[in-house]
A and B are shown apart, each in its own frame.
Chain A
């Protein structure tokens, strides 16, 4: 059958692997108090923020890297990394796009994220994070008119300290686990969103993360607060150059939904996955957690995970408010030597809380793909309900798929429904489609897209088509 050389694919496959030739300014390698002080100084942070970082760093000294994920991870020398890198002469964030280095604008243009407001997708505001700094945020003023704050977190720390102080670390405690604590000590940039009471945010908000500098870790920090009765839909995208080294991306994302508020958070993660022999690629160790603090609140995570050498993330919901709802929709695709250990935690604390988990894992090549989930009903979570569906699709015979769904139940009146399937793309299906004129790649992509359609449909319209293409591209080279 249709054999195409694998070299052709890797060339074509990861089209975001270029490096922007821009001089960067890094602070010295290593992880110590001086580095943290320097990061804080670069960001012009108030004293309280530095204290907070330092307290996290103190905790970190007694913590070790978690080892339980089903992934083989090369040991990371945390002293041999750059923790901060920004384009040179980037003293202050440009006031307008006219002041942004054209090379950066060109970079985002090439990534398909034009930053000029007249060119961008109608109805999508973008914050562009390049290594450790936010280089541009679009539609900021327009959003400001209705009270929506959408800006880099470094700016929020200066301009909205009361909000940041109140919520940062309120969902992911500083001491949560090694990578979360590391992030609290050294985080650089990410987005800050505040939606005031009763406001339905009229645009999709999105952040585009780009790693460019080598030997540099990216420590994104994002905080989204939806005040009472508000609504926001937020999307993040991620890419990085192709390199032989493994680069670390350790993010913390915190969401807070107050009474009757709703946050829809979508991720299209396409970090460089490494080459077909498993060399290089991003270590994507991410902590994402949402707190449904108020009654009737809702947090919904949708993720399309196609990139990274290793993905290790569990976007979770703490359902504290009565009648609150948590959702997790995930497509995780691994090919070649990629490893993904991903899933969610739904912690039911309040009455009548509901959660829904739909996970679609697709493994190809020699990759390994694990769903790991926890559904927990606490004592007072009367009438709590969960529905979990985990489907795995295997492409070829050398890949692995695992499903590890855990449950804890201390409530008498709650219910859990769990369904799981594992299937293979059959030769019969491929032959059937090929008999109708589709080549092997097209046939496979049709079947795979069908498999994860339920999740792809949850993405904001503007991105659903892109995601579909991404799903197909990620599996290129896995048939034949």
Chain B
């Protein structure tokens, strides 16, 4: 469903991704590991279409369509979801109204009517419970003053609400304590199905112990240097990248 071919990406005049190739099939979970600066976050941002991530050459197809020519919001509406490493604060915007608005943006693109307030509240309650998110968090401003754990859970909640086909998680495990990690991983596992693919970017084995990947890729200097199954993650955890 996702094909990355010979991708070269420059950020602030520095080439980060070099001839990157990666294929991700339907329903597969791929983990990306690698030292700092190896290009892990860059691939996440490039796929999501972040401004100033300049694609010099290469191709990316998502579900058979050219991804790189699309605006960031179109990529989202086409099923790509990026869980941010550092979720952004939106002062003055309550979480509930924000969540409702993004849900409605997706409904609108499917030519559906905006969701009814009562129905939305019901869904929100259900999905928040799964993540141990107290409802009063939704009357606070988006990510403003949220703890690290709350921010990450809020990202997972959004991914659950938007029903994406490709989920990219950029260090979702950082900032989570053991309990929160388990709750979050359980929620993510519930989202796994035959149609939905995942790219999980992480430094640590512990998240991959909860969410078992089908493939593990090791990044170095902007390309994949090794690919294996989940045992590769354990080996790296013990031996490091060298």
In contact, A436 and B76 (Cβ under 8 angstroms):
yes
In contact, B98 and A437 (Cβ under 8 angstroms):
no
**Which of A428, A437, A450 is within 8 Å of B76, CB to CB?**
A437
In contact, B105 and A436 (Cβ under 8 angstroms):
yes
**Which of B49, B71, B90 is within 8 Å of A447, CB to CB?**
B90
Q: Which residue of B lies closest to A421 (CB)?
A: B91
Residues of B within 8 Å of A443, CB to CB, are 73
Count residues of A near B (Cβ-Cβ below 8 Å): 26
**Which of B50, B73, B82 is within 8 Å of A438, CB to CB?**
B73
Count residues of B near A (Cβ-Cβ below 8 Å): 29
In contact, B88 and A442 (Cβ under 8 angstroms):
no
In contact, A432 and B71 (Cβ under 8 angstroms):
no
Whether A427 is near chain B, meaning CB under 8 Å from some CB there, is yes
Distance of A446 Cα from B49 Cα, bound (Å): 20
Q: With A427-B51, A431-B50, A432-B84 in contact, do A438 and B105 touch (Cβ < 8 Å)? A: yes
Whether A454 is near chain B, meaning CB under 8 Å from some CB there, is yes
- Near B by CB (< 8 A), chain A positions 413-459 give 426-429, 431-440, 442-443, 446-447, 449-454
A262 CB, min distance to chain B CBs, angstroms: 27
B143 CB, min distance to chain A CBs, angstroms: 9
B206 CB, min distance to chain A CBs, angstroms: 26
Q: Which residue of B lies closest to A445 (CB)?
A: B101
Residues of A within 8 Å of B109, CB to CB, are 437
A interface, by DSSP: helix, strand, loop or mixed?
A: helix
**What are the interface flags for B62-103 relative to A under an 8 Å C-beta threshold, 1 for contact and 0 otherwise?**
000000000111011100011010011111110000100110
Whether A2 is near chain B, meaning CB under 8 Å from some CB there, is yes
B73 CB, min distance to chain A CBs, angstroms: 4
In contact, B162 and A436 (Cβ under 8 angstroms):
yes
- Near B by CB (< 8 A), chain A positions 87-125 give none
**Which of B87, B88, B90, B106 is within 8 Å of A437, CB to CB?**
B106
- Near A by CB (< 8 A), chain B positions 138-154 give 141
In contact, B98 and A446 (Cβ under 8 angstroms):
yes
**Which of A426, A446, A453 is within 8 Å of B101, CB to CB?**
A446
Residues of B within 8 Å of A433, CB to CB, are 90, 102
B159 CB, min distance to chain A CBs, angstroms: 10
Whether A406 is near chain B, meaning CB under 8 Å from some CB there, is no
**What are the interface flags for B166-194 relative to A under an 8 Å C-beta threshold, 1 for contact and 0 otherwise?**
00000000000000000000000000000
Residues of B within 8 Å of A432, CB to CB, are 84, 87-88, 90
In contact, A450 and B71 (Cβ under 8 angstroms):
no
A208 CB, min distance to chain B CBs, angstroms: 29
In contact, B141 and A434 (Cβ under 8 angstroms):
no
Other A-B contacts than A432-B90, A442-B101, 10 sampled, CB-CB below 8 A, are A429-B89, A429-B90, A431-B50, A431-B72, A434-B73, A435-B84, A438-B101, A451-B91, A453-B93, A454-B92
Q: List 28 A-B contacts (CB under 8 A).
A: A426-B88, A428-B88, A429-B89, A429-B90, A431-B50, A431-B88, A434-B76, A435-B48, A435-B82, A435-B84, A436-B158, A437-B73, A437-B76, A437-B105, A438-B101, A438-B102, A439-B73, A440-B73, A442-B101, A442-B105, A446-B90, A446-B93, A446-B98, A447-B93, A450-B91, A450-B93, A451-B92, A453-B92
